[in-house]
Amino acid sequence: MENYYEEREAAAPDAREQALFERLPAALERARQRAPAIAQQLQGVEPAHIRSRADLEQIPVIRKSELLQAQLAMRQGQGGSDLPAVSRIFGGFSAIGWGEAARVFASPGPIYEPESRRPDYWGFARSLYAAGFRPGDLVYNCFSYHFTPAGSMMETAAHAMGCTVFPGGVGQTEQQVQAIADLQPAGYVGTPSFLRIIVEKAGQMGVALPSLTRALFSGEAFPPSLRDWFAEHGIDGYQAYGSADLGMMAYETPAREGLVVNEDIIMEIVRPGTGQSVPPGEVGEVVVTTLNPDYPLVRFGTGDLSAILSGASPCGRSNMRIKGWMGRADQTTKVRGMFVHPGQVAGVLKRHPEVRKARLIVSGSMGHDVMVFKAEVEQASEEALSRLADSVRELTKLRADIEPVAPGSLPNDGKVIEDIRSYD
């Protein structure tokens, strides 16, 4: 137990998968009854029949942009006057209302998110534990406490672990240095860029911060170069990957090999613009189904790109691992005044199963757009390429040159639309 926050982090993968999908039907049924937007998403789907990852593909992916539009529409009275106020605020996705929710937060959009009173609501406690924090520690929290939930994410996790929290927030660098020197916290949680500012300011002030030996970072990229910089300053930094919608999704461990997926969520990596899972190692969009009974997001497309790592983590945690954040999946772009999005490329592939993979390249200069549809095919007759061009034109309303390429030659980076236009 000393190595893990919970023993189930080292459970047999098959046992974990079975437990998740045994819990899922009841979670979907509860969501359907209490969250109108989820009921609409599950139309035509029988929750009792969703028993595997393959079954999950019966359910359409809901992406963040759709959640925002649902919230905006209901706030503007488009959802019907008979809906409770909480449904209008959360777009019908929340299963709890005022009183049951301890707090409500706002992310850019604005998208409003509830936080219930359940301990460690956002699920960050195990990432704190993996980063070296332990019960009885003082945690110095430099995430914001207003509007967005980041500050509360870490505070509720630390409290669930049995830690004390200092709410440092952001800004006031000299005061932060003084407080850390006085309080001697066990470690820092916040963005890596802000801790670097604090450490550099402490150096300028001639103030030592000897207690600051560990950190859990989120909200920004944490490349190896920055990890090495903190190590040179005596700080062992780890990263956690989360969002305001889903809470903590994956976290770094002492193995330093990718990020381990959190318990109580089902993560898929799908081909951008579709709901179809990609093989391990192939880059795709992170899609998550959470068993959170209060905010039950189902097949929620994060818009982030990642890939599944094969094999088990040397740290002993047995859950699926991902490479970490690898960019954004929403590659929608405007060509000759028309929006082209990954779903249209996926539509072309659906019509032409002989095309294993494709990428739409947009080039040219302002006002002179050129589209090239690169298609991985074994053999390409003129007739087949002509049919492919017709499908591209029909689905995008734009003409494109078709360029057949060898199978496996397109980059494995999750991109299906690449905009290389020059705007000089």
Question: What ranges in 35-114 are assigned the alpha helix state H?
Answer: 36-41, 53-56, 64-75, 85-90
Per-residue pLDDT band at 154 (split at 50, 70, 90): very high
Length of the chain, in residues: 424
User: How confident is the model over 308-327, as pLDDT tens digits?
Assistant: 999 989 999 999 999 998 87
Q: Return the SS3 of 262.
A: coil
Which segments of 49-180 are extended strands (E)? 62-63, 101-107, 111-116, 138-141, 164-167
pLDDT at 341: 79
Instruction: Quote the tokens at residue 251.
Output: 């976290």
- CB 107 within 8 Å of CB 219: no
Tell me the range of 65-79, 213-227, 255-269 where mean pLDDT is highest. 255-269
> Per-residue pLDDT for 218 more than 80?
yes
Per-residue pLDDT band at 18 (split at 50, 70, 90): very high
Instruction: Quote the tokens at residue 234.
Output: 């005596």
Cα–Cα distance, 5 to 127 (Å, whole number): 9
Q: What average pLDDT does the segment 261-286 reach?
A: 93
pLDDT at 396: 87
Q: Which CATH class is domain 333-419?
A: alpha beta
Picking from 167-171, 340-344, 402-406, which range would have the lowest pLDDT averaged per residue?
A: 340-344
Helices (H) and strands (E) in the chain, counts: 12, 21
Tell me the range of 170-184, 330-344, 364-378 where mean pLDDT is highest. 170-184
Would you kindly state where each structural domain of the chain is located, as residue ranges?
A: 333-419
> Per-residue pLDDT for 53 more than 90?
yes
Per-residue pLDDT band at 80 (split at 50, 70, 90): low
pLDDT at 367: 53
pLDDT at 337: 61
Per-residue pLDDT band at 79 (split at 50, 70, 90): low
Q: What are phi and psi of 358, to 5 degrees?
A: -145, 160
Per-residue pLDDT band at 81 (split at 50, 70, 90): low
* % the chain with pLDDT above 90: 74
Per-residue pLDDT band at 158 (split at 50, 70, 90): very high
- Which residue reads 């150096």 in tokens? 203
- CB 182 within 8 Å of CB 153: no
Which of the 8 DSSP states describes residue 102? E
For the beta carbon of residue 200, count every other beta carbon within 10 angstroms: 13
Cis peptide leading into residue 110 (ω within 30°): yes
Instruction: Quickly list DSSP for 319-378.
Output: S-EE-----BS---EEETTEEE-HHHHHHHHHH-TT--EEEEEEEEETTEEEEEEEEE-S
User: How confident is the model over 386-397, as pLDDT tens digits?
Assistant: 999 999 999 988
- CB 132 within 8 Å of CB 187: yes
First to last CA, the chain: 58
Run of H or E residues at 178: helix 173-183
Cα–Cα distance, 413 to 111 (Å, whole number): 29
pLDDT at 1: 47
- CB 114 within 8 Å of CB 96: yes
Q: What's the pTM?
A: 0.82
Cα–Cα distance, 147 to 140 (Å, whole number): 19
pLDDT at 303: 86
Mean pLDDT of the chain: 91
